[in-house]
Structure 1
């Protein structure tokens, strides 16, 4: 399949942002709305969602925005979100997998009985990326942007759910490494379709709700938004795929993300846990 040669302007693009009602996601929504994008905004709080829609409509004078409610602690909710997007949109130019939780102080399980951080920070991105890949391919040139972290740790495949040894930092860092592994895998699978897949560490310790209770902020949300928006919109990155960026520079992620055997093991685990197959495209 030959990828299209030109990238449409942002004003002609439809972008799905997960975790759009707070922090980085909210700032990105405002930036892309100002550039004229049509936005599908995800969150898990109806009031915050309606507040965001009202803000964007008032500031732009436009009505190109919709809100999708889904709780990523539920695989059913994640799957239904993907289904609604497929049912109601005939194109999707960018998927921004931004929703996530930070370092938790105690082990929590999702509604599906899985370790919560792994599900929210990684499996949600897996399900949405795999389910929406065919729509992205039909809309190409298109992009998947995974908001990851410089905090990365190898996945312990013997105790992925950390049932034997809970550690909040390990839970967060292995989920982010898994997200980058998915980035590399999808980039290989979608090569030649016109869909690129990249991940980034947007900034260190932005003053978002997942940071302020545990760490002292070191960067601004504006900085992180700017680096994320670049991966969404920069024409110079139209052919760049399978990369991990530390802010605005290409960087090397944790070694496990580049290990084909580890990625295959993660892919098999992800399919087993979610019931969603890796996209048969490429």
Structure 2
């Protein structure tokens, strides 16, 4: 078992794009990254909250370089535009942290959809990071060696390919768990298709039931602090011991097996084909 410790080494000269950076674990992680000298690209969907987050980080770390990018990840067109903007403005990208997510919802019986009409959790938690990552790969490769960190969850449920968008017997928590397994499957696929010395891609469950609005809105009692989740995530971004580690799932600090469906080649291929079809207009 990996012993808890702060991620070694600084991040000065490194640029990190962090989605979902205005609240919860993402906000706490942004402070840890700034303290280590990283140039921060903060993503959020509300400009005022983005400005407030950037201001708070600059107050605590006056030397930090912080830039903000607004996009609603429930709209793949905005995700595509976000990627275009980053590609046109940023000279390098050393790490992409796909942290933003939609939880089970205040009322898990209410099915919500994205701008493109997809089930909301599948869209935000899987399709959006897929599009963002794929679009930013040229910059990540140009900045090699770089890292992609996908914030997944220990809550994983198998995808039912006869009802991927959960149009029957909807349950928001199940939708969340399926979307996080989809994210894991995409993580493993990208790692298998990539060259490790160019970039690595890993996923993690940062902590069990962190003290976030997403957890509380889903009706669960928080069981972990934001710091307990941010530090294992920071490790995947910064720890030089993981320079050659890719295609893995971590439960906090420990390398673990994901749900069995994540290792099912047929299921992975079906999901990949579906994802490619749904996202093709935004990857051109």
TM-score normalised to the size of structure 2?
Answer: 0.93
* Structure 1 unaligned regions, length at least 5: 1-7
Shift of 1:271: 1.3
Q: Of the candidates 117, 121, 126, which is equivalent to residue 122 of structure 1? A: 126
Residue 227 (structure 1) aligns with: 232
Choose the corresponding residue for 1:208, options 205, 209, 212: 212
Q: SS where residue 91 of structure 1 aligns?
A: coil
Instruction: Kindly state the Cα deviation for residue 9 of structure 1 after the two structures are TM-superposed.
Output: 4.7
Q: Displacement, 1:63?
A: 5.0
What residue number does 1:197 align with?
Answer: 201
Gaps of 5+ in 2: 1-8
Q: CA offset at residue 201 of structure 1?
A: 0.3
Distance, in Å, in 2 between the alignment partners of 1:63 and 1:143 is: 21
The alignment covers a number of residue pairs equal to 273
Question: Under a length normalisation based on structure 1, what TM-score does the superposition of the two structures give?
Answer: 0.93
Q: Is 1:43 aligned to 2:50, yes or no?
A: no
Between the aligned partners of 1:81 and 1:200, the Cα distance in structure 2 is 24
| 1:135 corresponds to | 139
Please report how far the alpha carbon of residue 25 of structure 1 lies from its aligned counterpart in structure 2 after TM superposition.
0.4
State the secondary structure of the residue aligned to 2:216.
coil
Cα distance in 1 for partners of 2:246, 2:282 equals: 21
CA RMSD of aligned residues (A): 1.7
Contact (CA 8 Å) 2:30, 2:40: kept in 1 or not? yes
- Listed one character per residue, the Cα deviations across residues 3-59 of structure 1 (whole Å, up to 9, x for unaligned) are xxxxx9511100000000000100010000011100110001111100111111122
User: The residue matched to 2:215 in structure 1 has which SS?
Assistant: coil
The answer on 1:147 being equivalent to 2:178 is: no
User: Which of structure 1's runs of 4+ aligned residues deviate more than 2 A?
Assistant: 191-194, 276-279
Match of 2:32 in 1: 31
